Structure 1
Amino acid sequence: MLPSISVITPSYNQGAFIRQTVDSVLSQNYPRLEYIVVDGLSTDNSLAILATYQSQLTLIAERDTGQTNAINKGLRLATGDIVCWLNSDDYFLPGALRKVGEHFAHHPNSLWLTGDCQIVDEAGVHIQEPVRQYKRLLRTLTPALYAGLTNAICQPSTFWKRSAHEQLGYLNESLRYTMDYDWWLRLLALQPPAVSRELLTAFRIHETSKGGSEFGKQFEEDFETVSRHYPSYFVQTLHRWHNQAIVQVYKRIK
């Protein structure tokens, strides 16, 4: 029997993309789907768009303290066996949830699963293919060889058992950029992820996204995050060197 899946979408002023996000979830036609959208009282047309889907999802519209707080609200409400979050400018590829559900049905001892994702621009055009292939290569290694070096996990393509929250709590709301990396490292302390080479989602980078406009600050918080999990000076030094190299690459490809 396929497990139930809860998808959480934190939403705030992404009216240009939110319809594609919601449609990508609902069009999965997954038989045991719970979809929760947590909007922080958007001031654009996001809420008007979301209102047209109210019979097909649970909409929470209230002030929050940021993206991580919104995700946690949804995770605390979720009832699915498997949970994930999908940001309001990203989207699922066709058949993604079926592949996820079948993995957990066939591997009942698996705690979490991570797959591949396309990187796209605001028009949905594929970009940064070398970055995608590099992280794809890292995920073929054991996490011990890359987890302290960089966040090679595709956030929108990662799913875990809701029961993990009973042991680990929820996302760290003090983190603005790397709440996902911190969460992967906490999950990793329990079990390495199952890794799928399947393309499950599209991760969008655009002018107003954090990944597109604030990558320098993101790397600063990234280093602070890895330092909490890896006190080793050697690991921290490698991580810092890697971040510096990646920043230079990002500056060249932007």
Structure 2
Amino acid sequence: MKSYVPYIFCIKRKNKNVFPHKKVIIDPHYHKLNHKLKDHFFKLIHARFGTSGIRMLRLKEKWQIPLITSFHGCDSPGTARMKKHKRSLQRLFSVGECFTVPCLAMKQELVKHGCPISKIVVQYSGINLDQFAYKERFYPLDGQIRIVHVGRLVEKKGAEILIKAFHRIQQIFPQARLILIGTGRLLKKLKQLSLDLHLENNIEFLGALPHSEIAKHLEEAHIFCLPSLKDRTGNREGIPNAIKEAMACGLPVVSTFHSGIPELIKDGKNGLLVKENDVSELATKLIVLIKQPETWRKLGLNARVKIEADFNREIQTNNLERLFDQVIKAHEKKQNEKPLFSVIIPTYNRERFLGRAIKSVLQQTCKDYELIVVDDGSTDQTAKIVKSFGPRVRYVYQKNSGPSEARNMGISLAKGKYIAFLDSDDYFLAHKLKENKTYLEAHPDCHFLYSWYYNDKFGSKRNVVRNSRSYWDLNAFRFHLYRRKFTIRTSTAVIQKSCFDKTGLFNSRYRYSQDWDMWLRLACHYTGKCQKTPLAVYRRHERKVIPAGNRHFNIRKTALELYRWNKETLLRLEKKYGARRSAKKNQSISA
């Protein structure tokens, strides 16, 4: 590649001599990749095979990096291997930016299984033409026709069909030889078949060979044959590189009307094609080809021209780099489109309530938001529930660190101007964000907003809690908040993101009351404003009373230090604001 430096992350490394890439990182659980993404080291993830794309979903969503997934054939959505990933595959189709396929047939397969056609690009794999030189073919003087098959010895490569067809060929051309290059689980079975058909002296099993040796065998061959077929699990080819390499060498090629192969070979023009899994037709076609060596030159020359035009590695690599450019550019443009609100839902083992909370956000009449769910190490069905909502919800998982760290993770990832918090057991009313937006537009100096709410106690009838109010005097706001004279429910709070630059994030020392600590710290700089209408539902659960201990003392101590208050200040404020409140209360009683 010219414009990009690829780093290859894999579970384990094999065939180092065949793939001598320098930047290969063994990373079975993708921890190293996660750290690189955290540092914004990469601009794009290119997942080879659909299963790899599925494994990359979590990191893609966590770090908001574009993802291209390349399907090949063994990972076709219709295969038994991929059917068990059906749900994950649909999520991949929904979330992933782009999907490359090796042929038009595979494109149709992806569309059939739910992938948006606009996301699919046919990206042919190219070969190194310098490694496979063109050579004109002639009938050998000794009559020893060499037919070569290159491919893994698995069902879809059709070696068994070829051996059976070769049995008929050998009866007419006893000097003919079949060379099988490659290995696989069918090796023992195929060797036994050659013995049963008395072909052991005419068939060579050479095993897996490096490209340089494969090129030598192709140079010495007269005919190449790869009768690919769809196997019993649904596994199929894309367009086999082995066929491209043989065509580049000028070999007359015989293959099948299978998957993307007809996009490469036009029957009778630059090769020959037969029906899949048809021993008789394959044998007949090969016999006719052997009998007509005068056609070899035309087939081989046309084959080389086709490869040079459409399957040149350099051309296809340039095409892939242009695709990377397009996907990265589109992603960056989308990233720059910032929403008004970032709704953050921290959650831990709330599978019973989480779906309702998410739905309440997705059903908002104001659509100018992003939704981030931070899973604080849940062990229930949280991940499955969140992922069922598709790309509208950004799901982030972290080890259990407490609600403060979960909220902080959400804030760090948020792109919106305002942060709207929602506890995972509460839910918004449908017009909540619209009402917030209207107020904020009318009061552009407001940095800290909250509202009344409904109290849903143990699933009983809801009642409105109206004890929150606005205080235009900053000291009055601080005092009443400090004395806990009213409650700001986290699920009603909307805070301008820039505020956290001054106040800092939630204190991870506090698993409880961390919201009160935050409101007090915000009050060091901003007066909170209250919308006097219920906009959220707060669920109350039966649970043991949690002792405040030193927690409240420490929170108040921090506030006193921030406000530079002392005992005298508190007494003065108590006299000013507390007495006024008592007087109003007594006045209402006497009336």
TM-score by length of 2: 0.36
Mapping of residues 1-254 of structure 1, within 5 Å? 4-123=340-459, 125-126=461-462, 132-133=465-466, 135-136=467-468, 139=469, 142-150=476-484, 152-207=487-542, 212-217=543-548, 220-230=550-560, 232-233=566-567, 235=570
Identity of aligned residues (%): 25
Higher relative contact order (CA 8 A, sep 6+): 1
Q: Hey, what does 2:81 align to over in structure 1? A: none
Supply the distance in 2 between the matched residues of 1:80 and 1:140 (Cα, whole angstroms): 24
TM-score by length of 1: 0.80
Q: Once structures 1 and 2 are overlaid, which stretch shifts more, 161-170 or 8-17? A: 161-170
Q: Hey, what does 1:247 align to over in structure 2? A: none
- The 8 Å contact of residues 120 and 203 in structure 1, kept in 2 or not, is answered as yes
Supply the distance in 2 between the matched residues of 1:48 and 1:123 (Cα, whole angstroms): 25
Q: CA deviation digits over 1:108-142, x for unaligned, max 9?
A: 11111111111213426326x6xx34x33xx3554
Q: CA deviation digits over 1:37-59, x for unaligned, max 9?
A: 00023212222211101321100
Supply the distance in 2 between the matched residues of 1:62 and 1:145 (Cα, whole angstroms): 36
- The 8 Å contact of residues 146 and 152 in structure 1, kept in 2 or not, is answered as no
Runs of 5+ consecutive residues of structure 2 not aligned to the other structure = 1-338, 575-591
Q: Hey, what does 1:244 align to over in structure 2? A: none
Q: Which amino acid aligns with 1:177?
A: Y
What is the aligned-residue RMSD (CA, Å)? 2.3
Larger radius of gyration between Structure 1 and Structure 2: 2
Supply the distance in 1 between the matched residues of 2:403 and 2:365 (Cα, whole angstroms): 27
**C-alpha displacement at 1:205, in angstroms?**
1.4
- The 8 Å contact of residues 378 and 400 in structure 2, kept in 1 or not, is answered as no
When residues 106 and 205 of structure 1 are mapped into structure 2, their CA distance, relative to the original with a 3 A threshold, is same
Q: Which amino acid aligns with 1:227?
A: K
**C-alpha displacement at 1:152, in angstroms?**
2.2
Q: Once structures 1 and 2 are overlaid, which stretch shifts more, 148-157 or 225-234? A: 225-234
* Secondary structure of the structure 2 residue equivalent to 1:10: strand
For this pair of structures, how many residues does the alignment match?
A: 225
When residues 223 and 51 of structure 1 are mapped into structure 2, their CA distance, relative to the original with a 3 A threshold, is same
Supply the distance in 1 between the matched residues of 2:383 and 2:460 (Cα, whole angstroms): 22
- The 8 Å contact of residues 478 and 523 in structure 2, kept in 1 or not, is answered as no
